[in-house]
Amino acid sequence: MALVDALGNLFNLVLLPGQAHDLKGVAPLIEDVAFDALLADKAFDADWLLAELDVRGASAVIPPKANRKIKRNYDRHAYKWRHLVENFFAKIKEFRAIATRYEKTACSYTANWHLVATILAAK
């Protein structure tokens, strides 16, 4: 799970087990982080997350899931900027060690993510 800033640079990273749903990594990812809006895809449309964002005063730019009984409105124009997250992952996967996960430990793998993110931000 990665949190990127408005320019598409890595802000925070949380590694999850392969079988875990991405929603489990949101709480530690946004803990103690101040932001005005959270842009995420439909997988992050959860009541607890929407309530948390409401308490923080941040807007949720998350499209509602298809199975929601009451569809929420979201800012479709702002949602178009979510491509910055996808662009970040595309750039990071250009580095072979990240894409194929050569590192044996989570600590080494996380360190490589931060190293590559620093290289990309410096370009």
pLDDT tens column, 100-116 = 888 888 899 899 999 99
Q: Could you tell me what percent of the chain has a pLDDT over 90?
A: 45
**Token pair 């809006």: residue:** 37
Name the maximum alpha-carbon separation found in the chain: 45
Provide the pLDDT for residue 61.
94
Domains belonging to the chain, first-starting first, are 2-122 (3.30.420)
**Residues for the chain: how many in total?**
123
pLDDT digits (tens, 9 = 90+) for 39-77: 999 989 999 999 999 999 999 999 999 998 888 899 999
Q: Which of 2-6, 11-15, 75-79, 96-100 comes out lowest in average pLDDT? A: 96-100
Q: Is the pLDDT of residue 97 over 90?
A: no
Angle, helices 83-92 vs 106-122, to 10°: value is 110
* pTM assigned to the model: 0.80
18 pLDDT above the threshold of 80: no
Is 80 exceeded by the pLDDT of residue 34?
yes
Cα dihedral 27, 120, 99, 85 sign = positive
